[in-house]
Structure 1
Amino acid sequence: MSNKTCFVVMAIGDQHHNGQAVTAEDLKSRYDNLIKEAILKARPNIEVTRADEVSAMGTITTDIVQRIMYSDYIIADVSYPNPNVFYELGLRHACRPGTIIIKDKDAKVPFDIASLRYIEYENSTQGLKDLSSKLLQTFDSLDKDNSRPDNHFLEVAKLTSFKFPEFSKEEPLELQIMMSLLQSPELIDLFSKQQRGEATDPIEVIRALSTHPHILEPFLKLMLQSGELNLLPSKP
């Protein structure tokens, strides 16, 4: 069984908020010594990554988007109102469950996500212990039902039976037909006769296909694509 993956979404560069400045070095230290450490204490075998470990600072690359989409967990630190953080959080919410929001105990929760659950942490030795304990509980909870919506977007999508775009690559029609034929001995026999040059009744073939819609659909698509079947009326 492969190790689970966790992508950390957080501010990376220098931040200025409410008259206070936080350097990139301070944020890197917080990641290395608190957030990442707490994650690894909760799940020692998990693979933890932050954006600057896979991309140039300030850019959102294909690799980052893929990690947002496919990581088992996303931990989003919303302590600072960073546009990239909220954009990446929104991308994840639209993709799949498995998001954990965290923030510094002194940071104000942005209004738009105030209704979401989050974990507060303190940047201290005790804070590390507490954060690790809370992350462990949350990981376990997510694993018990990893398809349950964890944000309003996915809840509404589930409630309204929203149909997400299908981007998966389809198998070639010829392969779909061959795989489907294996489920019908009758059709295998008819097509074997055709391959041997024996006479077959076209009506019998059509009748056999009509009883197997999962075979008929790709078969008709292939005929339409090849021009063997034309549903448009011929011109006089």
Structure 2
Amino acid sequence: MYLFIKQHIEATFPEVSCERGDDRILTVPILEKVAGFIKQAHVVIADCSGRNPNVFYELGMAHALDKPVVLITADEVQDAPTDIRSFEFIRYTEDERVFAEKLDRALSQLLGNPFDDLYQHTSALFDEFRTSKQLALAKVTRDKFVADAAIRARTSGIPKPEEEKAIAKLYLPLMVDGPADLDVLDKMKEWIQQRFGQ
């Protein structure tokens, strides 16, 4: 589950690095290493499955340091210890897509939505493209763009804001409302080459 979560988070939130406390080999006691990771973390994801006492110790540490925590589990919520049962859990025995969507929503509330800036940036490029090519293309809604961009980000990631050419190549076609015909895609490719160079 960790590798799925890591790959998904790093693709969806490109500015975020997802690390596990026991992932790296360091010459310090594991508790020190985990405590260091928790201190540095912006958000802690705690897998409470199986009532692992180490996880609950680390969860207590995260709460003591006022770190935002996202709780996940494979267990039924009523099986969680009484002290944390009132918190919201994300169960990962559900469909991976459903789990990923719930995780995205939780992390977006804590970290912000990376697709908001991407939409604004791509929308401005789309307006520039339409004006340059004198095309009367309809633009997708923000929600439709975000849904499609999230799917694309899982395989391609999200380029940094300064990587405009990569943003244009990957995400500009998603701005067209409805199916984009080959002529439009060819014009888009030509415009990207003119605007950003080879």
Report the TM-score when normalising by structure 1: 0.41
Q: Hey, which of these two has a bigger chunk of helix by percent?
A: 2
Report the TM-score when normalising by structure 2: 0.48
Q: Hey, which of these two has a bigger chunk of strand by percent?
A: 1
Between structure 1 and structure 2, the one with the greater Rg is 1
Question: RCO greater where, 1 or 2, for CA within 8 Å and sep 6 or more?
Answer: 2
